[in-house]
Structure 1
Amino acid sequence: MTRQTAIRLPEKTYERLQTLAARTGRTATYYIREAIEQHLEDLEDIYLAEQALEKLRRGEMGTKTLEEVSRELGLDD
């Protein structure tokens, strides 16, 4: 299922989007969707990293050296 939404773009961004769509034969909607999906993934990764960093700072989480991880996974043989 898909949902529809509306966004406002600066004129220059809108023109760039239309030019790209015309040059590539894809729709502007395709590029809007692609940009949102990619940016959402990046934002989600940043959010998770910030959460982990906060846990680390509060002492709720620790770190391991590469040697420790290799040993635990049996990769140091």
Structure 2
Amino acid sequence: MLTLRLPPALAKSLGRSARAAKQTKSAFVRDAVLERIAEAEDHRIAVKRLRALKAGKSRTYTAGEIKRDLGLGV
């Protein structure tokens, strides 16, 4: 359970947005939080992979290399 205090203008905007999405305010906020958590995790993974690439611990592949390796022909 989480209690959230919002400024009146933001609370009004939340109400409008939730109604437009045909969701309760709680469901709308829950979906927004889940989306933000997923974005943060994606960012964390991207940073980790970029560091590995810059450190020479991984590499990139061209579309042609991937197609060849999967036997899809080029």
Please report the TM-score for the alignment, with normalisation by the length of structure 2. 0.80
Cα-Cα RMSD: 1.9
2:13 paired residue number: 16
**Whole-Å Cα distance in 2 between the matches of residues 74 and 25 of structure 1?**
46
| Alignment-mate amino acid for residue 34 of structure 1 | D
2:42 paired residue number: 45
Aligned CA distance change for structure 1 residues 61 and 19 (closer, same or farther; 3 Å): same
Structure 1 unaligned blocks of 5 or more: none
Counterpart mapping for 1:56-75 below 5 A:
56-75=53-72
Please report the TM-score for the alignment, with normalisation by the length of structure 1. 0.78
Paired residues, what number? 74
| Alignment-mate amino acid for residue 9 of structure 1 | L
Return structure 1 stretches of 4+ with deviation > 4 angstroms: 22-25
Q: Percent of counterpart pairs with the same letter?
A: 28
Structure 2 unaligned blocks of 5 or more: none
- SS of 2:3's equivalent? coil
Is residue 30 of structure 2 the alignment partner of residue 5 of structure 1? no
